[in-house]
Amino acid sequence: MIKPIGGFSKLSKAEKIDWVVSNYTSNPKESKKILETYWNSGIKLQQLHDEFIENTLTNLYMPLGIAPNFLINGKLYAVPMAIEESSVVAAASKAAKFWLKKGGFKAQVQGTEKVGQVHFIFKGDYEKLKQFFELVKPKLFEATASLTESMNKRGGGISKVELRNKTKELPDYYQLYCTFETKDAMGANFINSCLEQFATTLKMEALQYIPFSEKEKEIEVVMSILSNYVPNCTVRAEVSCPVEELEISSKISPALFAEKMVRAVDIAKKEPYRAVTHNKGIMNGIDAVVLATGNDFRAIEAGVHAYASKDGNYTSLTHAEVKNGIFKFWIEVPLALGTVGGLTKLHPLVKLNLEILQNPSAPELMQIMAVAGLAQNFAALSSLVTTGIQKGHMKMHLMNILNQQEATEEEKILAVEHFKNNTVSHRTVEDLLTSLRNR
């Protein structure tokens, strides 16, 4: 029986590995070998990775690919994408190439406002709290002056601090609702530091506010934290062309293709079951660039899906229409990103990927990511309304199946040739390998 362990974080890396493989794997020697295989050969580089998180054992690598030919606002990009799903980079590349000669993608940042809140409990007279807030508000800015000095010099800082009465939602619950501009930083640490100082100042000033009763002076700060919901930090990306230029396949007319694309988006707008998968496909493109540039994909995912529900129903993030003979396809999405701070200066590959993207500002990176999501969605819907998604996906998945079956290099070459004109599935690949091996 495995026993709990105390002080695990204080063990050396070797001791941690020995404990894990001895207690949780069937072949400790082989398991240890696998973990060590994925270490970086450079000691300094591996140490850098080890110190990103606690209790590091090894590195879990993810393929890093490039989707070329993205023309965005007249500028050509090759977009780094880190993802394990086989068809994503190919689909993004295909969409980029399709729109390259049609003017490319247009993108525009609509806002860069970030949000943070001080959540607190006040048991007393709301009118007195409002008067107190108006008096203490300048002191909140004064108390954070040292924190905001460098951000202010870059054109950012604290935009707004409001008192919000939330007692209809929860008894005695109020908040300081604060907005920030963090320029090229994602700004999480900056925002949270400001919020915690707001909370400290709020509590201290309340204790000295004479109109408050003793009970009212005891403001209880529950938490001070940024929000990953950023409905005013959004970007729009779009493509458009005359309907007759939508020559996707000889098997479907451009007009019918445009009609089917609009209908597919309309379904995703109305049907949540479809919308979730529809938006997941968009995030295939966005998340891959988020990871490649060292940004926080969990925060992006949470904010994006909340935004998809902002009107009360979960719906599509993309839109499509045909108007006056022009097909238009676009996306509006919230993206709180950074190109400085965090991993952007620490992780060598992240730094390289940002260089490949021509060292974009945070707003420029927002545009690139929105375009990646739009391209991914266009490619997915194009397949869905024409040949079906599995034909192309399984072709890309073929190499994964061959590797699972431990195919030789010769078998891989023969299999790729065979499946140019045949349906790929686990069964058909197994059958082919069996026939090749029995010759």
Domain holding 178: CATH number?
3.30.70.420
Nearest Cα to 132, choosing from 224, 221, 213? Answer: 213
Domain, as residue range, for 403: 393-437
In terms of domains, do 239 and 346 share one? yes
Cα separations (Å) of 88 from 72, 108, 152, 163, 374? 19, 24, 40, 45, 12
Domain endpoint, select from 203, 227, 251: 227
What residue type is 105 in one-letter code?
Answer: F
Domain endpoint, select from 227, 247, 273: 227
Q: Is 55 within a domain?
A: no
| Block residue for tokens 């390259």 | 100
Q: Is 129 within a domain?
A: yes
Burial, 7: exposed, middle or buried (Cβ in 10 Å; 0-12, 13-18, 19+)?
exposed
Q: Is 2 within a domain?
A: no
In terms of domains, do 372 and 289 share one? yes
Give the residues across from 71 on adjacent strands: 76
In terms of domains, do 423 and 305 share one? no
Domain endpoint, select from 181, 197, 227: 227
Angle at 252 between CA 99 and CA 387, to 5 degrees: 85
Nearest Cα to 67, choosing from 76, 79, 75? Answer: 79
Gap between the Cα atoms of 142 and 292, Å rounded:
38
Cα separations (Å) of 54 from 12, 133, 134, 371? 11, 41, 43, 35
In terms of domains, do 136 and 171 share one? yes
Q: Is 1 within a domain?
A: no
Question: Among 49, 280, 305, 418, which one carries the catalytic annotation?
Answer: 280
Give the residues across from 330 on adjacent strands: 238, 319
Give the alpha-carbon dihedral of 425, 428, 431, 437, to 10 degrees. Answer: -80
In terms of domains, do 97 and 245 share one? yes
Question: Among 13, 18, 49, 85, which one carries the catalytic annotation?
Answer: 85
Gap between the Cα atoms of 251 and 254, Å rounded:
10
In terms of domains, do 221 and 355 share one? no
Gap between the Cα atoms of 203 and 197, Å rounded:
10
Cα separations (Å) of 272 from 177, 259, 282? 31, 21, 15
In terms of domains, do 179 and 84 share one? no
Is 280 a catalytic site residue?
A: yes
Q: Which structure tokens are listed for 191?
A: 């925002």
- What was the pLDDT predicted at 390? 56
Could you tell me where the DSSP H helices lie in 51-117?
88-100
In terms of domains, do 316 and 247 share one? yes
Question: Among 181, 205, 238, 296, which one carries the catalytic annotation?
Answer: 296
Residue 314 has φ and ψ, to the nearest 5°, of -75, 125
Q: Are the beta carbons of 114 and 374 closer than 8 angstroms?
A: no
- What was the pLDDT predicted at 406? 82
Q: Which structure tokens are listed for 36?
A: 């060590």
Cα separations (Å) of 276 from 140, 150, 236, 377? 41, 41, 20, 12
What residue type is 318 in one-letter code?
Answer: T
- Domain CATH number, residue 328: 3.90.770.10
How many structural domains comprise the chain? 4
Residue 259 has φ and ψ, to the nearest 5°, of -60, -45
Q: Is 366 within a domain?
A: yes
Residues of the chain below pLDDT 50: none
pTM: 0.88
Residues ≥6 apart with Cβ < 8 Å to 410: none
- What was the pLDDT predicted at 346? 87
Angle at 380 between CA 322 and CA 306, to 5 degrees: 85
- What was the pLDDT predicted at 394? 60
Q: Which structure tokens are listed for 341?
A: 């701070």
In terms of domains, do 347 and 326 share one? yes
Nearest Cα to 21, choosing from 8, 35, 42, 10? Answer: 35
Q: Is 32 within a domain?
A: yes
Q: Classify 342 as helix, strand or coil.
A: helix
In terms of domains, do 376 and 399 share one? no
Q: Are the beta carbons of 66 and 84 closer than 8 angstroms?
A: no
In terms of domains, do 248 and 369 share one? yes
In terms of domains, do 177 and 204 share one? yes
Q: Which structure tokens are listed for 405?
A: 């079956």
Q: Is 163 within a domain?
A: yes
Q: Which structure tokens are listed for 393?
A: 């996906």
Question: Among 269, 278, 347, 393, which one carries the catalytic annotation?
Answer: 393
Write the Ramachandran bin of 174: left for phi over 0, alpha for psi from -120 to 50, otherwise beta: beta
Nearest Cα to 25, choosing from 57, 47, 52, 65? Answer: 57
Is 393 a catalytic site residue?
A: yes
- What was the pLDDT predicted at 304? 98
- What was the pLDDT predicted at 41? 87
- What was the pLDDT predicted at 427? 81
| Block residue for tokens 């020995």 | 18
Q: Is 243 within a domain?
A: yes
